[in-house]
Amino acid sequence: MRLTTFTDYCLRVLMFVGAKNGEMATIDEIARGYGISRNHLMKVVFRLGQLGYLTNVRGKGGGMSLARAPESINIGTLVRQTEEDLAVVECFQKSDAGCRIESTCILRHALNKALNAFLGVLDAYTLADLISPRRKLAQLLDIPLPAKPAKKAS
C-alpha cells in the first residue's frame, strides 16, 4: 500500500498546524518547515478546509488553524477521504476486471483483508497521537515555541 503525495502532505499540514498549538500557521511556514512545494500545499490546504479539518483565514494576518480538536481527527478517515483510489490491484476497481480466475481468486480476498488491516491500524490513531511529541516537532519544523512565563519573585 502506498499513499499519494497529496495524502502525505495532508497529514504533514495537519501535524504542523497541530504542533502550533492553536496559533495560526501559514503555507509559507509549512513549506519552509518541511522543505516542500508551496504550490502543492495550496491545493492541500484548500481541500483540508473543504473537508472541515482546517479553518482558513485569507488576507494579512491570515493563515490556518485546526477546525476540530486533534483528538477528533481520525487518521484512517482522513486517508479514506484524501486517497482517490485505494485499489491495491486492478480487480478492486470494478467487478468486471476481466480476470480469468476472479470467481475463485483467493489473492483478491487476501489483498482486501490486508487493505482493511492497513486502514484499521490508521483508524486507531488521531492527530493528537501524531503530534504528541509537540515540542520536538516544533523544534524540527522551526516552529517558534511560546516563551515560558517568568517565575515570580517571592
The predicted pLDDT at position 153 comes to: 57
Q: Say if residues 119 and 1 touch (Cβ distance below 8 Å).
A: no
The predicted pLDDT at position 52 comes to: 97
- Please name the residue that has the C-alpha cell 501524531: 130
Average pLDDT over residues 138-148: 80
Amino acid, res. 39: N
CB-neighbour burial class of residue 65 (10 A; exposed 0-12, middle 13-18, buried 19+): middle
The C-alpha atoms of residue 33 and residue 126 are separated, in whole angstroms, by 22
Work out the percent of the chain whose per-residue pLDDT is above 90.
Answer: 64
pLDDT one-digit tens code per residue, 54-107: 999 888 878 999 999 999 999 999 999 999 887 766 666 665 567 788 788 898
Q: Which helix (H) or strand (E) holds 90?
A: helix 90-93
Question: Considering the entire predicted model, what is its pTM?
Answer: 0.84
19 pLDDT above the threshold of 70? yes
Cell of 56: 482558513
The predicted pLDDT at position 122 comes to: 96
